[in-house]
Amino acid sequence: MTFDKQQPKLIIHGGASSAQGVDAVRQSLYKVLEDVYGLLLAGATACEAVVRGCRLLEDEPRFNAGTGSVLQSDGQIRMSASLMDSTTQAFSGVINVSRVQNPIELALALQDYPDRVLSDYGAAELVREMALPIYNPLTEERLQEWLQDRQDNFPRKMANLVSTPAGTGTIGVVALDDRGCLAAGTSTGGKGFERIGRVSDSAMPAGNYATSLAGISCTGIGEDIIDECLAARIVVRVTDGLSLSAAFERSLTEAKRNQRDLGAIGIDATGEIAWGKTSEVLLAAYHTGEKIGDTIEWSAEELTGFAE
């Protein structure tokens, strides 16, 4: 079958944390961007590109997903990830899974199952069925951070997701392929120091959502993202006729009014790339086909933006 090829588009994020270590964060994001954009140019589907991008970001210990995930209140790592493919409009994901290198792979496998979102015990069963090797995503930096906070009797409500130095955060990828299909993927180690059983937005349509019209991945404080139902809210606005940038502007204005701490990236079916944040920083980078850009040093006051 032949089809009119569309220019692929790509946007990725490494969270909504502090942008200290700007050059290193930019380097990590651009490396992933170039790898995944190359894949899209070679004809990969949006879903394949998103999974590849999430895997690479999960493997980068700088970001709070996969290797380098933050520890929960009991010192354990529990990760969550989801994937949504516009061709099937199917959402799949895992919640609070442990001892696996790439949670996004589980979300991908679940695309083909009738039960598409699994939590801890079920996700562990899936890991076993897939015969994935046992993997410890703990890094020394995350361990020291947790030990320090335990010594101080956990003074912080959460780990270095938003306002502290390390540059960690949820990761996400949104892609438009040359067939005009969209996909979105998001993966996280959670907030850090949360109580056992807390469920992240990253494996909910509030934090990750895609239809044939738009795809969105969110970052920031999960509870704030869930309260705004941010990813689905932006996509619904596009479905109802707003442009992607107008949908971001309206949704982020509401989120700011509600004093939320969050960010989001997205692409629509026309190829528009947009982003927004109420947090201080959004660590995102994009590829339009003609140019690469990022939001890393974007002003703390700006709410939304789009690739020109």
Q: Which residues are catalytic?
A: 170
Q: Is 222 in the site for ligand GLY (CB under 6 A)?
A: yes
CA dist 93 and 271 (Å) reads 26
| Among positions 60, 177, 201, 268, the unique one binding ligand GLY when judged by CB under 6 A | 201
How crowded is residue 152: how many other Cβ atoms within 10 Å of its Cβ?
9
Residues of the chain by 3-state class (helix, strand, coil), percent to 5: 30, 20, 45
221 binds ligand GLY (CB under 6 A): yes
Instruction: Say if residues 59 and 102 touch (Cβ distance below 8 Å).
Output: yes
Residue 131 makes CB contacts below 8 A (sequence gap 6+) with none
Between 45 and 102, CB nearer to ligand GLY: 102
The one segment of 70-78, 140-148, 185-193, 292-300 that binds ligand GLY by CB under 6 A: 185-193
Quick one: 179 or 256, whose CB is closer to ligand GLY? 256
| Edge-to-edge strand list for the sheet holding 292-294 | 117-118, 90-97, 79-85, 182-188, 171-176, 9-13, 284-287, 292-294
What DSSP character marks residue 203?
A: G
Minimal distance in Å, beta carbon 45 to ligand GLY? 26
By beta-carbon proximity to ligand GLY, the closer residue of 70 and 210 is 70
State the Cα–Cα distance between residues 184 and 46, nearest whole angstrom.
8
- Of 67, 101, 170, 304, which lies in the binding site for ligand GLY, with binding defined by CB under 6 A? 170
What is the pattern of x (binds ligand GLY, CB under 6 A) and - over residues 64-103?
----------------------------------------
Which of 200, 208, 251, 288 is in the footprint of ligand GLY by CB under 6 A?
200
Assess 188 for contact with ligand GLY (CB under 6 A). yes
Q: Round to whole Å and give the CA distance between 78 and 69.
A: 8
Comparing CB distances to ligand GLY, the nearer of 160 and 188 is 188
Q: What are the residues binding ligand GLY (CB under 6 A)? A: 170, 188, 190-191, 200-202, 219-222, 225
